[in-house]
Structure 1
Amino acid sequence: MTAPQETDVFPLTGSTYRGPAPRYAQLRAEQPVVKVPTAGGVDAWLITRYEDVRRLSADPRLSRALACGPGAPRIGGTMHTTPEMIISLDSPEHSRLRKLVAGAFTLRRVERMRANVQKVTDELLDDMQAKGGTIDLVQQLALPLPLTVIGELLGVPSEDLRKFEKWARAFATVDDRAGGEESLNGLAKLSEYIVGLIAEKRANPTDDMLSELIAARDNDDRLSEPELVTFGFTLIGAGFDTTANQLANSVLALLADGQEQWRWLAEDRGRIPTAVEELLRHVNLFATDTSGFPRIAAEDIEVGGVTIEKGDAVLLALASANRDETVFPDADRLDLAREHNPHISFGHGVHYCLGKHLGRMEMEIALDGLVRRFPDLRLAVPESELPWHNGEINHTLTSLPVTWGA
């Protein structure tokens, strides 16, 4: 096996919303398990093939808790999770917490929300149609749709949604400016707000997820106050910012190379569910091409003829796995009719995304409404002029000007 190239410093350069850094294709072919230096100054194992990424995602010997604990190796940057967050826990703590909250995210529970998600989407698109001209789709739809849905899930009063949006966006949009101070301030404001909201819901429960989580119990075990607060802002980061970015980037992917893909969807809206799965696979949401969160080997692990030793940091390149030609033929092509599509964009194993049903539903309803009302939607500026926020978590469009009609 050849040594990693000098350019192989994680995160690898050249990643965009269109796909992971080109170097990943060579790594999958020649060095699917390779130790690379990281921006934080430590070495980490980078895993790039689909089967390895999928298997290790479910391997309990790779610990998220060890990666968040004191003395854990720093991969670099300011992106952070706290030890109490569900994405930072190993079993049995993770299993206990997930069992208590999983009922709020079942397919049946999410389907009960469909009519309301449709209503919110229709209202936003009504407003878009009434305005006409050039519209910023990020501000018009991609941000307010998931924000409103998450706000209603948690029972956030409508009059609080705007300040809620400001704090949530600051928390989720992590970068290295001022050492991540803006993100930390957003986290502090959100935590303070959610503490007050929990107190209100405990005294006056309503029909919302937060009230349901407050009441949730398993063998007389309830979510503690810190767990409720932490889960609240975890839901905001995952359910608001991630969905907003996925929707905006997906619309861009459909429009960027002409309107053929968009018109193809408009011709038959029954194609949208399959197209959404392909957009989830093809559009590279993560700026680092991984889920963003390293793991630490709790014991020695053999992968692809290589030994990952106890204490080593491991990075699972989900974006690379989703471009593995052995699983996805013609993997770099956006194929909206792709039938076999076992992508792992929602992760795999115990940490797979709880909100996957909700995310899919929001994407499907939003795209269905857009292609139905605006079959001739197009970019209002060249793709090269679109503004991006270069943060540490997601490829984030700050504006997506679109237009339609004559």
Structure 2
Amino acid sequence: MSAPRETDVFPFPGSSYRGPDPRYAELRDEEPVVRVRTAGGVDAWLVTRYEHVRELSADPRLSRARACGPGAPRVGGTMHTTPEMIISLDSPEHSRLRKLVAGAFTLRRVERMRAGVQQVADELLDAMQAQGGPVDLVQALAVPLPLTVIGELLGVPPADLRDFEKWARAFATVDDRAGGEESLAGLAKLSEYIVGLVADKRATPTDDMLSELIAARDEGDRLSEAELVTFGFTLIGAGFDTTANQLANSVLALLVDHRDQWDRLAADPALIPKGVDELLRHVNLFATDTTGFPRIAAADIEVGGVTIAEGDAVLLALASANRDPAVFADPDRLDLDRERNPHISFGHGVHHCLGKHLGRMELEIALEGLLRRFPDLRLAVPEHELPWHTGEINHTLTSLPVTWGEPE
């Protein structure tokens, strides 16, 4: 087993929403599967090339369940999860639960939601326009759009959504801060709320996904109470936070570093779908450059010329994979004309993001509305004054003040 290099302490400090730390490029060239010491003090294998990340994402010998079970190594810079969460399960348990909700997130089903998502976005943009600048884009659009949509899908009363946002953000705190206490506190609040909501919907079912899950049977067995509760907060948390952060970070990237591309999208809205996909590849969402969810090898695995031994922790660097020049020409450039864009920002394999079609649609609708109504949108404060929420799994802006029209 190779020893970690002292310089390879993970997470690397040079990463931001703009992209991964420059040393990933060195590792892709020199040591694409490398042993690193993590912030939690545990050694892990860091995988940086696209071909290896994609291959291992679909390898059943890499176990999420073993990474979440009792006695699992605590890899610093990663999010606390519980063993019963769908993102913590291996097949067949994972497949059983996933198929219960997969039908709600197919491309066809999501497209039927487009008019409703457009209405939510239009109402939020109307309010922005009526208020006038400056406006905090995080609170005016980036958070409420996906939060409202996922709340309606699951049947969460609108008045409760902001509490959900607060608890989900606490839950997304990485586990090396105060022993995971903040994350566990958020998890407890989410669980307590869903227990009550499940009880209400069991007594009075409504036309929403949570009610469908309550009634769901798999080979004649009703979902357990724990599975229902876990499903509820997992879908709500995953259904808004990543989209909200991706939207805010994408707008920031366009306004600050790629103004010419913002202007081009405003002039040619037909480019927006391709532009969203390129922003998903180019903008680095994950603060640790990985999904934030380590895996444990359940058997010896040969990859990239090294042997990952059974029991070893493995980190798959999605941000590095998305900048791999073997797959993406001129990978560090935001290219709206990129024809081949097989990015893996939504993951790959059994744990690929269920909500990728919904998230992509929300991003397209939100960007189209902003570009159409506010083509001269700009930051209302200097970039260095923008506040970032530290310690989360994602690069998260606390606020994004923007304005438009003639300068005062």
Aligned partner letter, 2:266: A
For residues 3-402 of structure 1, the aligned pairs below 5 Å read 5-77=5-77, 79-174=79-174, 177-257=177-257, 259-402=259-402
In the alignment, the residues of structure 1 paired with residue 68 and residue 129 of structure 2 have an alpha-carbon distance, to the nearest angstrom, of 46
* SS of equivalent residue, structure 1 residue 399: coil
List runs of 5+ in structure 1 lacking aligned partners.
none
* SS of equivalent residue, structure 2 residue 9: coil
CA shift, 1:382, in A, is 1.8
CA shift, 1:293, in A, is 0.8
Aligned partner letter, 2:157: P
CA shift, 1:234, in A, is 1.0
In the alignment, the residues of structure 1 paired with residue 267 and residue 78 of structure 2 have an alpha-carbon distance, to the nearest angstrom, of 45
In the alignment, the residues of structure 1 paired with residue 175 and residue 246 of structure 2 have an alpha-carbon distance, to the nearest angstrom, of 18
Would the aligned equivalents of 1:78 and 1:179 in 2 still touch at CA under 8 Å? Answer: no
Aligned partner letter, 1:360: R
In the alignment, the residues of structure 2 paired with residue 54 and residue 78 of structure 1 have an alpha-carbon distance, to the nearest angstrom, of 20
CA shift, 1:338, in A, is 1.2
In the alignment, the residues of structure 2 paired with residue 205 and residue 365 of structure 1 have an alpha-carbon distance, to the nearest angstrom, of 31
User: 1:275-319 CA deviation, whole Å, 9 max, x = no partner?
Assistant: 010011011011110001111111111101111111111110000
In the alignment, the residues of structure 2 paired with residue 74 and residue 169 of structure 1 have an alpha-carbon distance, to the nearest angstrom, of 20
In the alignment, the residues of structure 2 paired with residue 77 and residue 259 of structure 1 have an alpha-carbon distance, to the nearest angstrom, of 32
Provide closer, same or farther for how the CA distance between residues 55 and 177 of structure 1 changes in structure 2, counting only shifts above 3 A: closer
* SS of equivalent residue, structure 1 residue 245: helix
Aligned partner letter, 2:398: T
User: 1:46-95 CA deviation, whole Å, 9 max, x = no partner?
Assistant: 10000000000000011110111111111125721000000100111111
CA shift, 1:372, in A, is 0.7
In the alignment, the residues of structure 2 paired with residue 356 and residue 374 of structure 1 have an alpha-carbon distance, to the nearest angstrom, of 26
Name the stretch that deviates more: 317-326 or 38-47.
38-47
Instruction: Give the percent of matched residue pairs that are identical in Structure 1 and Structure 2.
Output: 84
CA shift, 1:174, in A, is 4.2
Aligned partner letter, 2:20: P
User: 1:111-138 CA deviation, whole Å, 9 max, x = no partner?
Assistant: 2221111111000000000111211100
In the alignment, the residues of structure 2 paired with residue 331 and residue 350 of structure 1 have an alpha-carbon distance, to the nearest angstrom, of 26
In the alignment, the residues of structure 2 paired with residue 73 and residue 286 of structure 1 have an alpha-carbon distance, to the nearest angstrom, of 21
Structure 2 length normalisation: TM-score?
0.96
In the alignment, the residues of structure 1 paired with residue 215 and residue 103 of structure 2 have an alpha-carbon distance, to the nearest angstrom, of 12
User: 1:105-164 CA deviation, whole Å, 9 max, x = no partner?
Assistant: 122221222111111100000000011121110011011111111211111112222323
In the alignment, the residues of structure 1 paired with residue 349 and residue 269 of structure 2 have an alpha-carbon distance, to the nearest angstrom, of 32
Aligned partner letter, 1:182: E
- Counting matched residue pairs gives 405
* SS of equivalent residue, structure 2 residue 10: coil
CA shift, 1:5, in A, is 4.1
Would the aligned equivalents of 2:78 and 2:294 in 1 still touch at CA under 8 Å? Answer: no
Would the aligned equivalents of 1:10 and 1:36 in 2 still touch at CA under 8 Å? Answer: yes
Would the aligned equivalents of 1:175 and 1:392 in 2 still touch at CA under 8 Å? Answer: no
In the alignment, the residues of structure 2 paired with residue 58 and residue 371 of structure 1 have an alpha-carbon distance, to the nearest angstrom, of 37
In the alignment, the residues of structure 2 paired with residue 362 and residue 313 of structure 1 have an alpha-carbon distance, to the nearest angstrom, of 34
Provide closer, same or farther for how the CA distance between residues 157 and 83 of structure 1 changes in structure 2, counting only shifts above 3 A: same
Provide closer, same or farther for how the CA distance between residues 157 and 49 of structure 1 changes in structure 2, counting only shifts above 3 A: same
CA shift, 1:228, in A, is 1.1
CA shift, 1:195, in A, is 0.9
List runs of 5+ in structure 2 lacking aligned partners.
none
Aligned partner letter, 2:376: D
Name the stretch that deviates more: 327-336 or 96-105.
96-105
Structure 1 length normalisation: TM-score?
0.96
